[in-house]
Amino acid sequence: MKTLAEVSGVVARPPAEVFEEVLRRVTGGPYPMRTEVDRERGFLAVQGGWWYRGEYRVTADPAGARVEHRVVNAASWGRWGVPPANRFFIGFRARTAVAFARLLEELVTCGKEGGGVGA
């Protein structure tokens, strides 16, 4: 699988809380996705459609929780077509970075408002 975009950041909250909130947010969408969850390793992957696989890792950091996100080409057939197709979506990496920054902000905000896991 080839990495198409990769971003990371730190949230000033406990890793277990952040992991559960990321899990809730990325698995609650309108599209059917296969989900892989390993709480022990702080790993979550969602995969759907022809090529998309989003992977998240949440690990301990001195400032709280480090969140890493990768988008990979998981196509088993026509793999060669994914990079050219994505070039038509100019700004894919930038949009991924913007969406991830927004996610980090929301993770901080929901922790401060007491709206974390289960809220």
**Nearest in space to 25 (alpha carbons), one of 96, 104, 95:** 104
Q: Give me 32's structure tokens.
A: 């059917």
| Segment 28-44, tens digit of pLDDT | 778 788 999 999 999 99
pTM of this structure: 0.81
pLDDT digit string, tens, across residues 31-84: 788 999 999 999 999 998 778 899 999 999 999 999 999 998 887 766 556 666
Domain ranges of the chain: 2-112
d(CA 82, CA 56): 21
CATH tag, 2-112: 3.30.530.20
